Each structure stands twice: as C-alpha cells, then as structure tokens.
Chain A
Amino acid sequence: MISDFNLISEIKNNSLVMATEGYINNNGGQKITEEFYDKKNDDINKVILNLEKTKVVNSIGISFLIEIIEKLNESGGKLVFTNLDPSIDKTFTIMGLFHFAKKADSIEEALTME
C-alpha cells in the first residue's frame, strides 16, 4: 500500500508521546500500534498522540486507534489526542472516539491531564 506517513515518539513524564505526519490509513495505523506495543510498559499509562501534521485519517486508521484505546482502558490508562485539525476532530467525534479517549490543545496540556 502507498503511504506518506512518518512517526516519531518519545517518553515524557511516564507518558508515551507520538507525533504523526501524513495520512493515517492502514499503514499509518499499523506504525502507530507497533510503536505503542513496542514502547508501552507498566510505567506508562498515558499515551499522547500529536496529530498536528496529520490532516486526514481513514476508518482503517481509526480502527487501529480504537485498538490502542481499548488496550489502554484494559490497564486503566488513557489516550489523549492533541493539536487536532477541525475536520479530524469532527471525524473522531462522529466515530465516538471521545467517549473513551481525551483531547487537548497541546502536548503540555495533555501531560498535565489527570
């Protein structure tokens, strides 16, 4: 499959912070979940997904995000989205993601969220 997706991540204050760039489709979703499973450990109970450089997400990409949300919920953790483009915000709202995940305007705000 074709992809123009990039991902970088870091651990900050026991939170896994991932920043995406490009189309979150099957390939993008896979990369995010692989990074999540790779970096997630018992010390990390918050995952922050910075979507500042992502303008489009398809439903396959969303299914990967739901998988991460479910995994985190099982261990009492949470996913926080930041820097959402208005169209992605609307997409996530319609798909019901904010029932189980949170959103913040910035990474700093997400880090301080309870």
Chain B
Amino acid sequence: MVKDELNLLVDKLNLQVKSFQEGFEVLSQARNLKDLAKHFSHILRGNLLTLNVNIFYFEADGSNWSELYIHDEKSFDFFKHFEKKTVPEICFLDDECFKVAITLPLIDKSFFGLIVGGKIDKKDYSEIDKISIQIFMQLLGNAYQAFVNQKKEKELVFSLNNRVLQLNSLIDTGIELSSIQNTDSLLELALQRSVVLTNASAGGVFIEADSIELQQLTFPPGLDKEYLENSDNKLRTNFELLGKDYTFILVEKESRQGVVEFDDTDEILLGAFARQLQSAIENEHLHKEALEKENIKKELSVAAEIQKKIIPDSLPKIEGYKIAGINIPSKEVGGDYYDCLELNDGRFALIMADVAGKGVPASLLVSTLNASLNAYLDLQVPLEQLAMKINSIIYNASPSNKFITFFISILDPSTGELDIVNAGHNPSLLLRKDNTLKKIDAGGVAFGMFDMGLPFAGEKLVMERDERLLLFTDGIPEAMNHLEEEYSDERLDDFFCRNRPESAQKFVNDLVEDVKKHTGATPQSDDITALYLIRN
C-alpha cells in the first residue's frame, strides 16, 4: 500500500516536472505581458485545478496596479489592499472566494500580483500544491526575465541596425554629394540626412559672409532661423570655406518618450556630414575653376586658329623688291597682324597692326580689320579717308578698352613711292642709301579709340634703290630679359642700320635671333611681328 502511494507520488511529481518544462516553453513564447499572464493563468489552473487565477502588474516606477488577466472581476478590489514586498510572498487565505494571494517582485523592479481562487473540488490546497505554487512562481519570474531579455534583445538589434544605417547613410551621402554639381542640392541633401540620422525633428543650414546672410535652407522647409537658434535642445557645427561661414543647427532630438538631449554620436554624425559637405563644395569650386580654365584654353585655341588664318603664309612677289615677314605669337594669343596685299592697280599695301589685348576679342578685331582692308583697298580711296572709314568700323566693332595701332604704306613698285598713314603705331624705319635712318611717324590716333571724324595725316616718301623699310610691332623693342630689361628701340635702330644682308628673309631671321639672344630663357610675353622690304 505504501509502495503504491509512493509510486503515485513519483508519477505525480514526474507529471509536474514535465508540466513545468512545457509551461516554461509556452510562457517564453509570449508576445506581450497580457499574453504571458493569460498563458500562466491557464497553466496554473490546469495544474492546481483551481476555479480562477487573476493576475495584476505593477510597473517599475509606476503608481498603480493594472489588470493583466482576470477571471473574477471582484479579485482586483480584493487584491489592491495587499502591499508589495521585496521578496516573493505567498499567503494562503481564509476567504470564501479567494484562497491564495501572491506578490512577486520581478527583475526590473516591477511586480506581479496574483489572486487564486479555491480548488474545483473545494478541498484545501495540499502541501504538494503549496510546493507547486512556489515552483510555478519561480517559473513565472524566469519567464518574465526571458520576456524582458527578449525585449532588450529586440532593442539591441534595432539599435545595431540603426548604427549600420547611420554608417551606410554616411557612406552613401559622401558618394551622392560627390556626384552633385549644384550647391543648393548639396546643402539640401547634407541637411536632410543629418536631421534624419540624428533623429532631430528639424534643422537648418545658414551661409554668411562678413556677417551678411547669403542663403538659408531648413528642413522641414520654411522654418525661421530664430526659431532654431532659440531652441533649448539643439546641436550646431560650422565651417568656413572660400570666405563664407556655413552653420548647421539641428533641434529637438526625438525619442518615443519625448525630446531628449543630443548625444556624442549625433555630434560626430553632424560633424561628418558637415565635413562631407565642405569637401563637396570645395570640389565643386575646383571643378568650376577647371571648367573655366578649359574654356579659356578653348577660347585661346579658337583665337589662335583665327589669327593663323589671317596672317599670310607667303607674301606676293614685288618686281624689283625683296620682301619677308614674320609673326611669332606669344603663348597667349596676341593681336598682331601684318600683310602685303597686291592691289588691282599694281600697287602693294604693306600693313602692320597691333590690337590692344589678347585672346578671342583681339583676334576678332584683327579679323574685322583684315576684312575691312580687303573690302576698301581696291576702291582707290585716298589713304586718309580709308583710315577714317576703318577707324569708324573698328570703333563700332570693339569694346571700349580695345583699339588697334595701325601702319599702312601703299607702295608703287615702279616709282618706289610710299603713301603712308600711321594710326598710333610704332614709327616704321626707313634706311636711306646714305645710311641715315628715317622714322616714319605720320600720325593719327589708334583705330577704335574715338569716332569723332578726326583726320589722319598722311605722309608720302620715295624709297630709292638699295633702301630698306622695316615695319614692326612693339613686341620687338619691348621684349624683356630676366632682369626685365627691354630689347629697346635703340638696339633695334642699331641692328636695322648695321645689318644689310642681300636677303630680306635673312634680315628677319637674324633680327629674331638677336631679340632671342637678349631675352634668353625668359618666356616671350608679346607677339613678335616684322615686315622687311628691300628695294633692289
């Protein structure tokens, strides 16, 4: 008999152990507290065969008990008089309806409270029941701990994912910023990302130069700077670039519990976004500069092409004369022009001109001059009138700071007669048979300076046999060496007088060589242009 009772007790205990295991499994799958309470209530009722199990909860830092799972509505009024204890307390009661009252302190300083009704068979709770209740309370505490851990694990996963998102967004933003060429879009992207990733509810970026506000952008749009500045909860950073101050302000860091303080990570993130923006703006600036340089390079290339087409490849042959010319442009395209045009009456126009300035504008003016000369020279207009006409054309075609110094001499090859007009150009040089040097300074102002009908005084000379004429631009006398000493008019006069080779081309070549001997390795700063004529 004793053996049978013992076997029954062992079976019952085995069943209880199994029930505890299964119970824990069920409880640990609870999705929320109410779920947990509901499952526990079922487990306890099933094991103790009680009429009801009512479960309450007192939140850590809370002020009241709340119902989690109730079988008997009266239980809450009954239970709320019980005090919370720091240790689990199981009280067996004498009450007609409720037989057990339990308070269970939990791991996070919250509490479960339980009111358990009588047994279905109306018997008192046995000693085994009492031990079972203690074990089930331990089970409930452990299940709650698992529930809290699971919640913490979820929060940790969320927080880790958020960190990955922040890092990923920082990398993405860097890539996106580097592909945007527009400052407004750069600011918008950097601001938006810094607001979102720091959980700020708003933000702005403000650009100033010398304390004058140049631009402002906010997210969401339309906020006042004052509103952001006056916020008690803000994070700011700034940087200076290309003479401008950029200030970022983020306000009201959000949380599910309300506004919280920005932390160190937010400061690092905002700093990183600001640095990315700074770098992107700097790159954009450098990119624009490079484009401008490229445009200038293209412009100069076009100018060089125009000039190349206008400067003659070869000069016409003049019976009884030898002629040679040269044009060596400096690195920057200049505006020198020379030519020798045969007119329809057998005369020749010897032309030398220099446009103030360089590049495309200078080339276009040279082109205009060239076209005007080609159009008017054959009309046999007196040279002084021709000069006035061309001056008017150049004046109307050129901006105020552009003008052309111009020298023209119409040569009648049969007589050696030279009909000359010099519009503000260097005096050309004529070397007489008797070795005297004549500087041809016949005058007028440069083309394009005034259009007031000012007359151009011409000069007529005769070039005798064995006499020589040199037309040139200021690139020759003003060519400088490394000491910034000019080649000079004196040295040019001297060279012109002392060198009288048979060949006009040799003179030109020797002159260029002499100029280069003077300048040495110093880069050429202006065009070198000369036209040399020998009457046989």
Question: Which residues on B sit within 8 Å (CB–CB) of A2?
Answer: 201-202, 220, 223, 251-252
Chain A residue at smallest Cβ distance from B165 = A94
Known: A22-B220, A57-B196. A27 touches B168 (CB 8 A): no
15 more A-B contacts (CB under 8 A) besides A4-B220, A58-B199, A59-B162?
A2-B223, A22-B220, A26-B201, A26-B255, A57-B196, A59-B165, A60-B199, A63-B158, A63-B256, A74-B31, A90-B168, A94-B164, A95-B158, A95-B165, A96-B157
Question: Which residues on B sit within 8 Å (CB–CB) of A26?
Answer: 201, 254-256
How many inter-chain residue pairs (CB < 8 Å) link A and B? Answer: 65
Chain B residue at smallest Cβ distance from A64 = B256
- From residue 19 to 74 of chain A, which have CB atoms closer than 8 A to chain B? 22-23, 25-27, 55-60, 63, 66, 70, 74
Known: A2-B201, A23-B220, A94-B164. A60 touches B256 (CB 8 A): yes
Q: Are A1 and B165 in contact (CB under 8 A)?
A: no
**Does residue A13 face the partner (Cβ distance < 8 Å to B)?**
no
Q: Mark interface residues in B250-290 (1 if CB within 8 Å of A CB, else 0).
A: 01101110010000000000000000000000000000000
Chain B residue at smallest Cβ distance from A74 = B31
Which 7 A-B residue pairs are closest in the complex by CB-CB distance? A4-B220, A26-B254, A2-B202, A1-B201, A60-B254, A94-B165, A95-B161
**Does residue B192 face the partner (Cβ distance < 8 Å to A)?**
yes
Question: Which residues on B sit within 8 Å (CB–CB) of A22?
Answer: 220
- From residue 86 to 104 of chain A, which have CB atoms closer than 8 A to chain B? 87, 90-91, 94-96
A-B contact pairs, 24 of them (CB 8 A): A2-B202, A2-B251, A3-B201, A3-B220, A4-B221, A22-B220, A23-B196, A23-B219, A26-B201, A26-B254, A56-B195, A56-B196, A57-B196, A58-B195, A60-B254, A63-B256, A70-B31, A74-B32, A90-B168, A94-B168, A95-B161, A95-B162, A95-B165, A96-B157
Tell me how far the C-beta of A96 lies from the nearest C-beta in chain B, rounded to whole angstroms.
6
Q: Are B161 and A94 in contact (CB under 8 A)?
A: yes
Tell me how far the C-beta of A53 lies from the nearest C-beta in chain B, rounded to whole angstroms.
13
Chain A residue at smallest Cβ distance from B164 = A94
Question: Which residues on B sit within 8 Å (CB–CB) of A55?
Answer: 192
**Does residue B343 face the partner (Cβ distance < 8 Å to A)?**
no
- From residue 157 to 202 of chain B, which have CB atoms closer than 8 A to chain A? 157-158, 161-162, 164-165, 168-169, 172, 192, 195-197, 199, 201-202
Q: Mark interface residues in B443-471 (1 if CB within 8 Å of A CB, else 0).
A: 00000000000000000000000000000
Interface size class of B (residues with CB under 8 A): 20 to 34
Tell me how far the C-beta of B211 lies from the nearest C-beta in chain A, rounded to whole angstroms.
27
Question: Which residues on B sit within 8 Å (CB–CB) of A60?
Answer: 199, 254-256
Tell me how far the C-beta of A30 lies from the nearest C-beta in chain B, rounded to whole angstroms.
9
Chain A residue at smallest Cβ distance from B227 = A2
- From residue 339 to 370 of chain B, which have CB atoms closer than 8 A to chain A? none
Chain B residue at smallest Cβ distance from A57 = B196
Q: Are A1 and B256 in contact (CB under 8 A)?
A: no
Chain A residue at smallest Cβ distance from B221 = A4
> Which residues of chain B have a CB within 8 Å of any CB of chain A?
31-32, 157-158, 161-162, 164-165, 168-169, 172, 192, 195-197, 199, 201-202, 219-221, 223, 251-252, 254-256, 259
Tell me how far the C-beta of B152 lies from the nearest C-beta in chain A, rounded to whole angstroms.
15
Question: Which residues on B sit within 8 Å (CB–CB) of A59?
Answer: 158, 162, 165, 199
Q: Are B254 and A1 in contact (CB under 8 A)?
A: yes
Cα distance A56–B220 in the bound complex, in angstroms:
11
Known: A2-B202, A25-B199, A94-B164. A66 touches B256 (CB 8 A): no
Cα distance A99–B162 in the bound complex, in angstroms:
16
Known: A1-B259, A26-B256, A63-B256. A58 touches B168 (CB 8 A): no
Specify which of A1, A4, A66, A91 is in contact with B252 (CB 8 Å cutoff): A1
Cα distance A55–B256 in the bound complex, in angstroms:
21
Cα distance A23–B31 in the bound complex, in angstroms:
30
Interface centre among A2, A3, A4, A63 (most CB of B within 10 A): A2
Question: Which residues on B sit within 8 Å (CB–CB) of A57?
Answer: 196
Question: Which residues on A sit within 8 Å (CB–CB) of B31?
Answer: 70, 74
Question: Which residues on B sit within 8 Å (CB–CB) of A91?
Answer: 165, 169
Chain A residue at smallest Cβ distance from B154 = A66
Q: Are B196 and A58 in contact (CB under 8 A)?
A: yes
Question: Which residues on B sit within 8 Å (CB–CB) of A27?
Answer: 201
Question: Which residues on A sit within 8 Å (CB–CB) of B172?
Answer: 87, 90
Tell me how far the C-beta of A69 lies from the nearest C-beta in chain B, rounded to whole angstroms.
12
Q: Are A96 and B161 in contact (CB under 8 A)?
A: yes
Q: Are A25 and B161 in contact (CB under 8 A)?
A: no
Cα distance A69–B371 in the bound complex, in angstroms:
81
Tell me how far the C-beta of B521 lies from the nearest C-beta in chain A, rounded to whole angstroms.
58
Tell me how far the C-beta of B256 lies from the nearest C-beta in chain A, rounded to whole angstroms.
6
Tell me how far the C-beta of A43 lies from the nearest C-beta in chain B, rounded to whole angstroms.
22
Tell me how far the C-beta of A33 lies from the nearest C-beta in chain B, rounded to whole angstroms.
11
Cα distance A63–B199 in the bound complex, in angstroms:
12
Cα distance A76–B196 in the bound complex, in angstroms:
32
Tell me how far the C-beta of B226 lies from the nearest C-beta in chain A, rounded to whole angstroms.
14
Cα distance A96–B158 in the bound complex, in angstroms:
8
Question: Which residues on B sit within 8 Å (CB–CB) of A1?
Answer: 201, 252, 254, 259
Chain B residue at smallest Cβ distance from A96 = B161
Q: Are A25 and B162 in contact (CB under 8 A)?
A: no
Question: Which residues on B sit within 8 Å (CB–CB) of A23?
Answer: 196, 219-220
Cα distance A60–B252 in the bound complex, in angstroms:
13
